[in-house]
A and B are shown apart, each in its own frame.
Chain A
Amino acid sequence: MIQTPDAVEIAPGTHWIGALDPGLREFDIILKTANGTTYNSYCVRGTDGVAIIDTVKESHAEEFFKRLEQVARYDEITTIVLNHLEPDHSGALPELMRRAPQAKLYISTKGQLMLKALVKDPELGFNVAQTGDSVDLGGRTLRFFTTPFLHWPDTQCTLVEEQGILLSGDVFGCHFCDARLFNDQVGDFRFSFEYYYQHIMRPFREHVLDALELLEPLPLKLIAPAHGPILREAPRSYMQRYRQLASPLLHNEVGVNNKSLLVFYISSYGNTARMAQAVVDGAETVPGVRVSMYDLQAGGNLPFVDLIEEADGLAIGSPTINGDAVKPVWDLLSSLAAIKVRDKFGAAFGSYGWSGEAINMIEDRLRGLKLRVPIKGVRARLIPTEEELGRCRDLGIQLAQHLTGTVQNRVISMSELFAQEPSHA
């Protein structure tokens, strides 16, 4: 790989001064980085001041400062902007503030708590930037756009107005290290771009769509993210790709007034399968609900995760084996952290031999994922009786009624509430 020791001019007076980390193979535990990554920071020079936008991981600070010193003196720096305070972008901030104590620091409103937690200096001064606020550097204007949850609460983007450069932070970035820097010169990084979206941005897709509303109208010539290639060739295509990725793959045939309920099950001897069918039968009696049933044994997690992302509710059926729900169920449930499931409705059911712990375990996990779990799950010992199948039908009906908002308000006392199974009214 070509190593460059120099700052790189990306537009007149605006330089990349970041750091390369080609040896990184795993980022934040959860991400594979076959090509390493870059920590991109930028220096914008105006006639009246110099701004540094984002810093780098602390371990790469020396490289960052060397590049910075090629394009600016520390006493020239008037402005420091942190688009995102995660340590890979704020790691060199304390030292930069020490070297340029006159500089004013700009962060988003929600960055304040992060800043206090990361930089343990109660004396550290900062300015809070909101959408529309700007800093005049003299012929170069930095304009801020608050874009929360891409992918932390604090994230924002900064536009260099006169140059049409969007310093975007993590959004539109990826983990890909290539010293040639620009998207029309580096190796093929498309998989990294998609992978980064799927793992970092996808849980926040509603926020992605909000941010696109804010950013798409901007007159952009270049997108300079905080990781990976600088997007100077067809920058808008990357924005368009984000819109595609944040939108459903296919038109959902469930009408706008209809709700979608997914029933997943896995079954050793057909008992939990029979219970699943009863849940479906019950739910289908409620108008306005489209019910779909899937055998977890035969499906891969990824398509199911896609389906759940679009659904309004899900019920999961698992037998209890060795005191636990079975692995395909946990595989599915552990995959749901990648999407937003908060406030969907959830329920559990299943057949068991002698203990039946799986139901409560699944319910706890659903609650941990911030789903609403208002109905007590149904457990059946081995072959479900007609009475137990009837309770499964009731579970389906009640779940469907919750989805359609037709559930009748119940009044219950605290003592009745506590007399029931944990966490169910």
Chain B
Amino acid sequence: MPKANVTFEKLGITVSVPAGTRLIEISEKVGASITYGCREGECGTCIMKIKSGMEHMSERSVLEDKVLQENMAGRSDRLACQAQVLGGDITVKA
């Protein structure tokens, strides 16, 4: 199964995960300072910044795109509860 390496920059930890894993599944486990609201992509609480490797992330769904726009999120922002890692190396600011 393809793997992705997700590095939490501030925590100093890299987690090797199967492709398709949602960021929230990892960030919750490592104790990152991300809070979670609805967990369904509607509230925008879990916005997190991708420092590098956005090309290894799933495309934004219509819902995620709408919520990110409503929250004035930048290009490097994703919803942890929606975004999946697809492979390669990804670094998040957390």
Contacts and interface: CB of A to CB of B under 8 A. Distances in A.
Interface of A: 109-110, 112-113, 342-343, 363, 367-368, 370-375, 402, 407-414, 417-418, 420, 422-425
B31 A410 contact: no
A420 B15 CA distance: 13
29 contacts: A109-B72, A110-B72, A113-B70, A342-B33, A343-B33, A367-B31, A367-B35, A370-B33, A370-B34, A372-B11, A372-B32, A373-B31, A374-B12, A374-B13, A374-B31, A375-B31, A408-B12, A409-B12, A409-B13, A409-B14, A410-B14, A411-B15, A412-B16, A414-B16, A414-B17, A414-B18, A414-B21, A417-B30, A425-B11
Contacts of A375: 31
B40 interface: no
B17 A343 contact: no
Q: Quick one: which of B26, B31, B94 has the most chain A CB within 10 A?
A: B31
Contacts of B82: none
Contact of B26 (A409, A414, A424): A414
Nearest to B31: A373
Given A367-B33, A424-B29, A425-B13, 5 more contacts: A112-B70, A113-B71, A374-B12, A409-B13, A424-B31
A344 B10 CA distance: 11
B15 to A, nearest CB: 6
A425 B16 contact: no
B59 interface: no
B15 A413 contact: yes
Nearest to A372: B33
B35 to A, nearest CB: 5
Nearest to A407: B12
